[in-house]
Structure 1
Amino acid sequence: MRTERITDGGQSERREPKVVVGAAIVSGGRVLACARSAPPEVAGRWEFPGGKVEPGETETAALARECVEELAVRVEVGDRVGPDVRMAHGRSLLRVYAARILGGDQPQALEHAELRWLTADELDTVTWLPADVPIVAALRPLLERP
Structure 2
Amino acid sequence: MRRRQVLSSLALSTASLAGCNSLGTPKRTPADVTPANVPTATDSPTETATPPVTPDPDDPILVVVRNRSDGSRRVSLTLSRSDGSTLLNESVQLNAGARTEFETGIETRGQYDLAVSIDGTERQFDVLIETYDIRMGSNQEIEITADEIRFFAEE
TM-score range, shorter chain: under 0.3
- TM-score normalised by length of structure 1: 0.22
- TM-score normalised by length of structure 2: 0.22
Tell which structure's C-alpha radius of gyration is larger: 2
Query: Which fold has the larger relative contact order, with Cα–Cα distance below 8 Å and residues 6 or more apart in sequence?
Result: 1
Higher strand residue share: 1
Higher helix residue share: 1
